[in-house]
Structure 1
Amino acid sequence: MSITITLTDQDKATLRTAAYGAVSLIAAADATGTPHKAATNGSNALYAATGLVGHVLAAKSKDIKLKGKNVAELADQVLPALTAAMGLLGQQDPAEAENFRSTVLVAIDAASRTHQSQPSPTVVAMISKITGALYAV
């Protein structure tokens, strides 16, 4: 039995904003001077996603609107989008919601591995906030 998920353009924008925004939060929290490497690693992980989530994240789109002058303003957009994405996917297909959660967790892990040492305390704190938003539903 195959489940068909119907996502509106706004739903897809929410998923992309949430996923790419999570990577942006990790990059912004990386105070060691390699945010571009964090963003690249995380984005590559998102681009490698499979299933419906993979198709949505890989689509060429200009609907990701991440605005903010600081990390707090970015988090104000991204964290609710993560929770909303989990909610909208969970209503239609819990397995695809888990795919989204897993994809974002892999991406933020990849983004946080820009150094050979452990991630900084600020990055670890941001990972915790992102994880909390993913499990808030």
Structure 2
Amino acid sequence: MIMEQTLTAEERLTLKTGAFGAVFLVSNADPGVLALVRESFAASGALADASGVVKEALTTGPLPELPRDSELEIESVVLPALTRAMAILRDKSPRDTVTYREVVLAAADRVARAHRGVTPAEVAAIERIRAALAQPA
């Protein structure tokens, strides 16, 4: 039997950086003030659906600091954080890997659908997120 292990503050921040960063990456793919408000509500609903270790990681501690200058800079932080988050969960709480993947992808999808339909840029961002979640670390 695999025992669930407590995550460190750094590991929780990695999970949060990946999840919140994925939302930011999709939101940033089709920017706009009204879209941002709708997308924030949509994402919060999906992230609130988390449970167990994932919920604890996403709802405690400081918010992650994400770059805001360019999509490439955002991706350079967010995508590795997603891959690392999956590795952390595989190591410390394997049953939560599916929860994390599903919550992140649901939040990204809700953000994309929140304002005037899904754009090709949002689809591309979600595919990069999906690929990062599938990568072995």
> TM over 0.5: same fold?
yes
Q: In the TM superposition, what is the alpha-carbon distance from 1:5 to its structure 2 partner? A: 1.6
Could you list the runs of 5+ residues in structure 2 that have no partner in the other structure?
none
1:20-99 to 2 correspondences below 5 Å: 20-31=20-31, 34-59=35-60, 61-99=61-99
**Cα distance, 1:48 vs structure 2:** 2.5
- Mapped contact 2:27–2:36 kept (Cα < 8 A): yes
Give the 4+ runs in structure 1 shifted more than 3 A: none
State the Cα distance separating 1:63 from its structure 2 match: 4.4
1:123 alignment counterpart: 122
TM-align CA RMSD = 1.7
Return closer, same or farther for 1:109/1:8 CA change in 2, 3 Å cut-off: same
- Aligned equivalents of 1:133 and 1:62: distance in 2? 23
Matched to 1:101, the amino acid is R
> How many Å separate the matches in 2 of 1:70 and 1:40?
23
Cα distance in 2 between the residues matched to 1:105 and 1:63: 19
CA contact (8 A) 1:23 1:43 kept: no
User: So what's the TM-score if we normalise by structure 1?
Assistant: 0.89
CA deviations on 1:86-126 (whole Å, 9 max, x unpaired) are 00111123211111111111111111111353x10000000
In the alignment, is the contact (CA less than 8 A) between 2:83 and 2:132 conserved in 1? yes
Q: In 1, Cα distance between the equivalents of 2:41 and 2:79?
A: 20
List gaps (5 residues or longer) in structure 1: none
State the distance in 1 between where 2:122 and 2:4 align.
36
Q: What is the Cα deviation at residue 2 of structure 1? A: 7.2
Q: What is the alpha-carbon distance in structure 2 between the residues aligned to residue 82 and residue 16 of structure 1? A: 9
Distance 1:65 1:8 in 2: 18
Check conservation: 1:26, 1:38, Cα contact below 8 A.
Answer: no
Identity of aligned residues (%): 35
AA aligned opposite 2:104: V
